[in-house]
Amino acid sequence: MREMNEKEIAFIGKITAGVTHEVNNVLASIREISGLMTDILSITDETSFPRKEKFQTSLQKIQNQVQRGVKLTSQLNKFSHLSDNNKTDVDVNEIIEHLIFLTERFTRIKNIALQIQPIDKSFTIITNPLLLQMAVFNCIAYLLNNMVNGGEISICPGKKGSECSVSIICKGELLDKTSIFKDSSSSEELLSVQSIMESLDGVYELDESNTAIIIIVPGNK
Amino acid sequence: MDEYRVLIVDDEEELVTTIAERLQIRGIQAQTATDGETALKMIEANPPQFVVLDIMMPGMGGIEVLQRMIAQNLKIPVILLTGYGSTEQGMEGMKLGAFDYLMKPCDLNNLIGKIQEAVKNL
Protein backbone atom coordinates (compact mmCIF):
# COMPACT_ATOMS: atom_id res chain seq x y z
CA MET A 1 0.00 0.00 0.00
CA ARG A 2 1.26 3.47 -0.90
CA GLU A 3 2.10 5.67 2.08
CA MET A 4 0.09 8.87 2.42
CA ASN A 5 1.77 12.22 2.31
CA GLU A 6 1.15 15.11 4.69
CA LYS A 7 -1.29 16.88 2.36
CA GLU A 8 -3.42 13.76 2.03
CA ILE A 9 -3.46 13.24 5.80
CA ALA A 10 -4.39 16.90 6.30
CA PHE A 11 -7.22 16.51 3.78
CA ILE A 12 -8.63 13.48 5.63
CA GLY A 13 -8.30 15.37 8.91
CA LYS A 14 -10.12 18.41 7.58
CA ILE A 15 -13.02 16.45 6.09
CA THR A 16 -13.37 14.31 9.24
CA ALA A 17 -13.38 17.43 11.43
CA GLY A 18 -16.14 19.00 9.30
CA VAL A 19 -18.28 15.86 9.32
CA THR A 20 -17.95 15.34 13.09
CA HIS A 21 -19.16 18.92 13.52
CA GLU A 22 -22.26 18.12 11.43
CA VAL A 23 -22.86 14.81 13.23
CA ASN A 24 -22.70 16.72 16.50
CA ASN A 25 -25.49 19.00 15.26
CA VAL A 26 -27.56 15.94 14.35
CA LEU A 27 -27.00 14.50 17.83
CA ALA A 28 -27.89 17.85 19.41
CA SER A 29 -31.20 17.86 17.50
CA ILE A 30 -32.01 14.24 18.46
CA ARG A 31 -31.23 15.10 22.06
CA GLU A 32 -33.58 18.11 22.09
CA ILE A 33 -36.38 16.36 20.17
CA SER A 34 -36.34 13.34 22.50
CA GLY A 35 -36.06 15.79 25.42
CA LEU A 36 -39.19 17.57 24.18
CA MET A 37 -41.02 14.23 23.98
CA THR A 38 -39.94 13.49 27.56
CA ASP A 39 -41.19 16.94 28.65
CA ILE A 40 -44.57 16.39 26.99
CA LEU A 41 -44.90 12.90 28.50
CA SER A 42 -44.11 14.23 31.96
CA ILE A 43 -47.07 16.63 31.79
CA THR A 44 -49.38 14.03 30.24
CA ASP A 45 -51.85 12.20 32.45
CA GLU A 46 -51.04 8.49 32.96
CA THR A 47 -54.56 7.39 32.03
CA SER A 48 -54.58 9.24 28.71
CA PHE A 49 -51.27 7.72 27.55
CA PRO A 50 -51.11 3.92 27.66
CA ARG A 51 -47.67 2.42 28.29
CA LYS A 52 -46.30 5.85 29.23
CA GLU A 53 -43.53 4.30 31.33
CA LYS A 54 -42.32 2.19 28.39
CA PHE A 55 -42.06 5.35 26.26
CA GLN A 56 -40.20 7.18 29.01
CA THR A 57 -37.71 4.32 29.34
CA SER A 58 -37.19 4.23 25.57
CA LEU A 59 -36.63 7.98 25.46
CA GLN A 60 -34.05 7.67 28.21
CA LYS A 61 -32.29 5.01 26.11
CA ILE A 62 -32.24 7.44 23.16
CA GLN A 63 -30.67 10.08 25.42
CA ASN A 64 -28.04 7.58 26.60
CA GLN A 65 -27.16 6.66 23.01
CA VAL A 66 -26.92 10.36 22.13
CA GLN A 67 -24.46 10.82 24.98
CA ARG A 68 -22.43 7.89 23.65
CA GLY A 69 -22.51 9.39 20.15
CA VAL A 70 -21.43 12.80 21.44
CA LYS A 71 -18.44 11.23 23.21
CA LEU A 72 -17.45 9.28 20.10
CA THR A 73 -17.72 12.26 17.75
CA SER A 74 -15.89 14.45 20.23
CA GLN A 75 -12.96 12.02 20.39
CA LEU A 76 -13.01 11.51 16.61
CA ASN A 77 -12.94 15.27 16.12
CA LYS A 78 -9.95 15.48 18.45
CA PHE A 79 -8.27 12.75 16.41
CA SER A 80 -8.95 14.60 13.15
CA HIS A 81 -6.97 17.58 14.51
CA LEU A 82 -3.88 15.52 15.36
CA SER A 83 -2.52 16.15 11.88
CA ASP A 84 -2.78 19.94 12.36
CA ASN A 85 0.73 20.07 13.85
CA ASN A 86 3.74 17.99 12.91
CA LYS A 87 5.52 19.01 16.06
CA THR A 88 3.72 20.17 19.14
CA ASP A 89 3.46 19.79 22.92
CA VAL A 90 2.03 16.37 23.62
CA ASP A 91 0.74 15.20 27.00
CA VAL A 92 1.78 11.56 26.64
CA ASN A 93 -0.66 10.07 29.16
CA GLU A 94 -3.53 12.04 27.61
CA ILE A 95 -2.68 11.01 24.05
CA ILE A 96 -2.46 7.33 25.10
CA GLU A 97 -5.84 7.56 26.89
CA HIS A 98 -7.28 9.11 23.74
CA LEU A 99 -5.87 6.25 21.65
CA ILE A 100 -7.27 3.66 24.06
CA PHE A 101 -10.74 5.19 23.69
CA LEU A 102 -10.46 5.10 19.89
CA THR A 103 -9.13 1.52 19.72
CA GLU A 104 -11.49 -0.01 22.27
CA ARG A 105 -13.55 -1.61 19.53
CA PHE A 106 -10.57 -3.57 18.15
CA THR A 107 -9.69 -5.01 21.54
CA ARG A 108 -13.31 -5.63 22.57
CA ILE A 109 -13.79 -7.94 19.57
CA LYS A 110 -11.03 -10.16 21.00
CA ASN A 111 -12.30 -9.65 24.52
CA ILE A 112 -8.97 -8.10 25.48
CA ALA A 113 -8.85 -5.29 28.01
CA LEU A 114 -6.71 -2.31 27.10
CA GLN A 115 -5.53 -0.08 29.89
CA ILE A 116 -3.06 2.66 30.66
CA GLN A 117 -0.75 2.34 33.66
CA PRO A 118 1.22 5.59 33.69
CA ILE A 119 4.61 5.42 35.36
CA ASP A 120 4.76 9.18 35.70
CA LYS A 121 2.01 11.71 36.30
CA SER A 122 1.18 14.09 33.47
CA PHE A 123 4.27 14.87 31.40
CA THR A 124 4.74 16.62 28.10
CA ILE A 125 7.09 16.07 25.20
CA ILE A 126 7.47 17.84 21.88
CA THR A 127 6.70 15.39 19.11
CA ASN A 128 4.32 14.47 16.31
CA PRO A 129 1.13 13.32 18.11
CA LEU A 130 -0.32 11.49 15.13
CA LEU A 131 2.83 9.44 14.56
CA LEU A 132 3.16 8.63 18.26
CA GLN A 133 -0.42 7.34 18.37
CA MET A 134 0.13 5.42 15.15
CA ALA A 135 3.23 3.73 16.52
CA VAL A 136 1.48 2.68 19.73
CA PHE A 137 -1.55 1.52 17.73
CA ASN A 138 0.64 -0.70 15.55
CA CYS A 139 2.22 -2.25 18.65
CA ILE A 140 -1.25 -2.95 20.05
CA ALA A 141 -2.32 -4.44 16.70
CA TYR A 142 0.78 -6.68 16.63
CA LEU A 143 0.07 -8.03 20.11
CA LEU A 144 -3.64 -8.47 19.31
CA ASN A 145 -2.77 -10.56 16.26
CA ASN A 146 -0.60 -12.79 18.42
CA MET A 147 -2.90 -13.19 21.42
CA VAL A 148 -5.70 -15.62 22.07
CA ASN A 149 -9.05 -14.16 23.08
CA GLY A 150 -9.15 -12.73 26.58
CA GLY A 151 -6.38 -11.20 28.62
CA GLU A 152 -5.07 -7.69 28.78
CA ILE A 153 -2.70 -5.23 27.14
CA SER A 154 -1.18 -2.60 29.42
CA ILE A 155 0.35 0.58 28.12
CA CYS A 156 2.88 2.18 30.43
CA PRO A 157 4.13 5.62 29.41
CA GLY A 158 6.94 7.14 31.43
CA LYS A 159 9.92 9.47 31.40
CA LYS A 160 13.34 8.02 30.73
CA GLY A 161 15.81 10.84 31.23
CA SER A 162 15.14 13.34 28.49
CA GLU A 163 13.31 10.68 26.53
CA CYS A 164 9.85 9.21 26.72
CA SER A 165 9.24 5.48 26.79
CA VAL A 166 5.98 3.71 26.16
CA SER A 167 5.82 0.01 27.01
CA ILE A 168 3.04 -1.97 25.40
CA ILE A 169 2.81 -5.14 27.48
CA CYS A 170 0.94 -8.33 26.70
CA LYS A 171 -0.69 -9.77 29.82
CA GLY A 172 -2.54 -12.58 28.18
CA GLU A 173 -2.00 -15.90 26.51
CA LEU A 174 -0.13 -15.96 23.21
CA LEU A 175 -1.05 -18.00 20.16
CA ASP A 176 2.56 -19.15 19.80
CA LYS A 177 4.91 -18.09 22.56
CA THR A 178 8.05 -19.18 20.72
CA SER A 179 7.55 -17.23 17.53
CA ILE A 180 6.02 -13.90 18.57
CA PHE A 181 9.31 -12.02 18.56
CA LYS A 182 11.28 -14.37 16.31
CA ASP A 183 9.14 -13.66 13.25
CA SER A 184 8.65 -10.03 14.12
CA SER A 185 10.83 -8.65 11.32
CA SER A 186 8.25 -9.67 8.73
CA SER A 187 5.35 -8.13 10.62
CA GLU A 188 3.63 -5.31 8.77
CA GLU A 189 2.77 -3.62 12.08
CA LEU A 190 6.33 -3.66 13.40
CA LEU A 191 7.75 -2.56 10.04
CA SER A 192 5.41 0.40 10.33
CA VAL A 193 6.59 1.07 13.91
CA GLN A 194 10.19 0.95 12.63
CA SER A 195 9.42 3.47 9.90
CA ILE A 196 7.59 5.79 12.34
CA MET A 197 10.47 5.60 14.83
CA GLU A 198 12.85 6.70 12.07
CA SER A 199 10.64 9.76 11.47
CA LEU A 200 10.54 10.55 15.19
CA ASP A 201 14.26 9.88 15.79
CA GLY A 202 13.19 7.16 18.17
CA VAL A 203 13.67 3.43 18.52
CA TYR A 204 11.60 0.45 19.46
CA GLU A 205 12.73 -2.60 21.40
CA LEU A 206 11.28 -6.03 21.88
CA ASP A 207 11.34 -7.21 25.48
CA GLU A 208 10.87 -10.96 25.16
CA SER A 209 10.96 -11.73 28.88
CA ASN A 210 8.06 -9.37 29.59
CA THR A 211 6.31 -9.92 26.24
CA ALA A 212 6.43 -6.22 25.62
CA ILE A 213 7.23 -3.74 22.88
CA ILE A 214 8.92 -0.58 24.08
CA ILE A 215 8.88 2.64 22.13
CA ILE A 216 11.44 5.28 23.01
CA VAL A 217 11.17 8.76 21.55
CA PRO A 218 13.11 11.95 22.26
CA GLY A 219 11.33 14.48 24.44
CA ASN A 220 11.97 17.39 22.14
CA LYS A 221 11.59 16.01 18.61
CA MET B 1 -40.12 32.73 34.76
CA ASP B 2 -42.75 34.44 32.58
CA GLU B 3 -40.82 37.69 32.52
CA TYR B 4 -37.90 36.17 30.61
CA ARG B 5 -37.81 36.63 26.88
CA VAL B 6 -35.02 34.79 25.19
CA LEU B 7 -33.80 34.78 21.60
CA ILE B 8 -32.10 31.59 20.41
CA VAL B 9 -30.00 31.82 17.27
CA ASP B 10 -28.65 28.79 15.41
CA ASP B 11 -28.70 27.79 11.75
CA GLU B 12 -30.01 24.34 12.75
CA GLU B 13 -33.71 25.14 12.53
CA GLU B 14 -35.04 21.96 14.13
CA LEU B 15 -32.63 22.40 17.00
CA VAL B 16 -33.60 25.99 17.82
CA THR B 17 -37.34 25.49 17.44
CA THR B 18 -37.21 22.44 19.73
CA ILE B 19 -35.12 24.23 22.35
CA ALA B 20 -37.59 27.14 22.18
CA GLU B 21 -40.53 24.79 22.68
CA ARG B 22 -38.84 23.16 25.68
CA LEU B 23 -38.12 26.58 27.22
CA GLN B 24 -41.73 27.60 26.66
CA ILE B 25 -42.92 24.50 28.55
CA ARG B 26 -40.80 25.85 31.43
CA GLY B 27 -42.39 29.28 31.25
CA ILE B 28 -39.66 31.07 29.33
CA GLN B 29 -40.74 33.01 26.25
CA ALA B 30 -38.41 31.97 23.49
CA GLN B 31 -38.07 33.31 19.98
CA THR B 32 -35.79 31.88 17.32
CA ALA B 33 -33.66 33.03 14.40
CA THR B 34 -31.61 30.87 12.04
CA ASP B 35 -29.08 33.49 10.92
CA GLY B 36 -27.12 36.36 12.39
CA GLU B 37 -28.65 39.10 10.24
CA THR B 38 -32.24 38.21 11.20
CA ALA B 39 -31.22 37.87 14.85
CA LEU B 40 -29.73 41.36 14.87
CA LYS B 41 -32.89 42.85 13.34
CA MET B 42 -35.02 41.08 15.96
CA ILE B 43 -32.75 42.29 18.78
CA GLU B 44 -32.87 45.89 17.50
CA ALA B 45 -36.64 45.83 17.01
CA ASN B 46 -37.57 44.29 20.35
CA PRO B 47 -34.59 43.57 22.64
CA PRO B 48 -34.95 40.28 24.55
CA GLN B 49 -33.61 39.78 28.10
CA PHE B 50 -31.17 37.13 26.94
CA VAL B 51 -29.60 35.89 23.71
CA VAL B 52 -28.25 32.43 22.92
CA LEU B 53 -25.93 32.63 19.92
CA ASP B 54 -24.30 29.85 17.93
CA ILE B 55 -20.75 30.84 17.01
CA MET B 56 -20.52 28.97 13.71
CA MET B 57 -23.26 30.09 11.35
CA PRO B 58 -23.19 30.75 7.63
CA GLY B 59 -22.90 34.48 6.94
CA MET B 60 -22.79 36.51 10.13
CA GLY B 61 -21.53 34.26 12.94
CA GLY B 62 -22.23 34.57 16.64
CA ILE B 63 -19.08 36.59 17.41
CA GLU B 64 -19.95 39.18 14.77
CA VAL B 65 -23.53 39.48 16.08
CA LEU B 66 -22.09 40.00 19.58
CA GLN B 67 -19.65 42.65 18.31
CA ARG B 68 -22.49 44.54 16.58
CA MET B 69 -24.64 44.36 19.71
CA ILE B 70 -21.78 45.84 21.73
CA ALA B 71 -21.18 48.53 19.08
CA GLN B 72 -24.85 49.52 19.33
CA ASN B 73 -24.63 49.55 23.14
CA LEU B 74 -27.20 46.76 23.43
CA LYS B 75 -26.42 45.46 26.90
CA ILE B 76 -28.07 42.07 26.71
CA PRO B 77 -26.44 38.99 28.25
CA VAL B 78 -25.27 36.56 25.61
CA ILE B 79 -24.48 32.87 25.87
CA LEU B 80 -22.40 31.55 22.99
CA LEU B 81 -22.83 28.00 21.74
CA THR B 82 -19.58 26.43 20.64
CA GLY B 83 -18.90 23.26 18.71
CA TYR B 84 -15.69 21.32 18.25
CA GLY B 85 -12.81 23.54 17.43
CA SER B 86 -14.59 26.74 18.44
CA THR B 87 -13.99 26.67 22.21
CA GLU B 88 -11.27 29.29 21.78
CA GLN B 89 -13.80 31.51 20.05
CA GLY B 90 -16.09 31.00 23.03
CA MET B 91 -13.37 32.34 25.32
CA GLU B 92 -12.70 35.16 22.87
CA GLY B 93 -16.42 35.97 23.01
CA MET B 94 -16.28 36.17 26.80
CA LYS B 95 -13.41 38.63 26.55
CA LEU B 96 -15.59 40.71 24.22
CA GLY B 97 -18.40 40.71 26.77
CA ALA B 98 -20.41 37.48 26.38
CA PHE B 99 -21.87 36.23 29.67
CA ASP B 100 -20.61 32.67 29.10
CA TYR B 101 -20.30 29.92 26.52
CA LEU B 102 -21.63 26.38 26.39
CA MET B 103 -20.50 23.43 24.33
CA LYS B 104 -23.09 21.95 21.97
CA PRO B 105 -25.12 19.86 22.62
CA CYS B 106 -25.77 21.68 25.87
CA ASP B 107 -27.91 20.46 28.73
CA LEU B 108 -31.18 22.41 28.87
CA ASN B 109 -31.11 22.73 32.66
CA ASN B 110 -27.59 24.09 32.38
CA LEU B 111 -28.76 26.66 29.83
CA ILE B 112 -31.73 27.66 32.03
CA GLY B 113 -29.35 28.01 34.99
CA LYS B 114 -27.20 30.40 32.96
CA ILE B 115 -30.25 32.40 31.87
CA GLN B 116 -31.44 32.75 35.48
CA GLU B 117 -27.96 33.71 36.65
CA ALA B 118 -27.57 36.35 33.95
CA VAL B 119 -31.03 37.84 34.30
CA LYS B 120 -30.61 38.02 38.10
CA ASN B 121 -27.53 40.17 37.59
CA LEU B 122 -29.27 42.66 35.32
Sorting pLDDT into bands at 50, 70 and 90, what band is B4? confident
Q: Please list every residue in chain A whose beta carbon sits closer than 8 Å to the beta carbon of residue B19.
A: 32
**Chain center to CA of B102:** 10
Is A61 in a helix, a strand, or coil? helix
Tens of pLDDT, residue by residue over B40-63, are 999 999 999 999 999 999 999 999
Q: Please list every residue in chain B whose beta carbon sits closer than 8 Å to the beta carbon of residue A43.
A: 25
* A51: region left, alpha or beta (phi > 0 left; psi from -120 to 50 alpha): left
State the 10-residue block means of pLDDT for chain A, 221 residues long.
Answer: 79 93 94 96 87 93 96 93 89 96 93 92 91 96 93 93 93 82 80 94 90 91 52
Cα A50 to Cα B68: distance, rounded to the nearest angstrom: 51
Tens of pLDDT, residue by residue over A138-163, are 999 999 999 999 999 999 999 888 89
Tens of pLDDT, residue by residue over B81-102, are 998 766 788 899 999 999 999 9
Average pLDDT of chain B is 92
Looking at residue A70, its pLDDT comes to 94
Cα A52 to Cα A159: distance, rounded to the nearest angstrom: 56
Give yes or no for residue B109 having a pLDDT over 80: yes
Tell me the β-bridge partners of B53.
Answer: B9, B80
DSSP 8-state assignment for residue A111: T
Backbone angles phi, psi at A205, to 5 degrees: -130, 150
Q: What is the β-pairing status of strands A152-160 and A163-170?
A: antiparallel
Looking at residue A121, its pLDDT comes to 84
Q: Which CATH architecture has domain B5-120?
A: 3-Layer(aba) Sandwich (3.40)
> Residue A125 in contact with residue A219, Cβ under 8 Å?
yes
Looking at residue A1, its pLDDT comes to 62
Among A21, A25, A42, A71, the residue to mutate for chain B (most B Cβ within 10 A): A25
Interface pTM, i.e. ipTM: 0.88
C-alpha distance from B46 to closest chain A C-alpha (Å): 27
Q: Please list every residue in chain B whose beta carbon sits closer than 8 Å to the beta carbon of residue A29.
A: 12, 14-15, 18
